[in-house]
Amino acid sequence: GAVVSQHPSWVICKSGTSVKIECRSLDFQATTMFWYRQFPKQSLMLMATSNEGSKATYEQGVEKDKFLINHASLTLSTLTVTSAHPEDSSFYICSARSLRSPLSGELFFGEGSRLTVL
């Protein structure tokens, strides 16, 4: 099956620093990647949709300058949490849609990255 790798799986940083999270599709090319945030015991909240070679589309209420998304290739998207604060602590998950099945809607998820901001 399609594999999506996310790195790092766990990061602790000081308030005010920036953190980059990578999402890679290992055995397929992804036309679109999605970034979600998940709070404890809650569902996945879509933050933004990332298309290769174009600007990300952010959901309402998500700060573009705070959560920078870059989708430089068909296999890599990055999420940078800039000037992180304790309230940014959360579980961030990416998913990818295969170039081979863009219309099916099937999403392949990364393992997630747990961010803790001190």
Nearer Cβ to other proteins (9/15):
9
State the minimum distance, in angstroms, from the CB of residue 115 to other proteins.
Answer: 14
42 near other proteins (CB under 8 A): yes
Q: Among 14, 43, 65, 86, which residue interacts with other proteins (rule: CB under 8 A)?
A: 43
Residue nearer to other proteins on the CB measure, 31 or 82: 31
Cα angle 31, 75, 40 (rounded to 5 degrees) comes to: 85
Q: How far apart are CA 56 and CA 49, in angstroms?
A: 6
For position 89 contacting other proteins by CB under 8 A, the verdict is no
Q: Is 97 in the site for other proteins (CB under 8 A)?
A: yes
DSSP one-letter string for the chain: ---EEEE-SEEEE-TT--EEEEEEESSS-EEEEEEEEE-TTS-EEEEEEEETTSPPEEPTT--TTTEEEEEEETTEEEEEE-S--GGG-EEEEEEEEETT-TTT---EE---EEEEE-
Q: Does 74 bind other proteins (CB under 8 A)?
A: no
Q: Is there binding between residue 110 and other proteins (CB under 8 A)?
A: yes
Q: What is the CA radius of gyration of the chain?
A: 13
Nearer CB in complex with other proteins: 40/86: 40
User: Site residues (CB under 8 A) for other proteins?
Assistant: 1, 4, 6, 9, 32, 34, 36, 41-46, 49, 93, 95, 97, 102-112
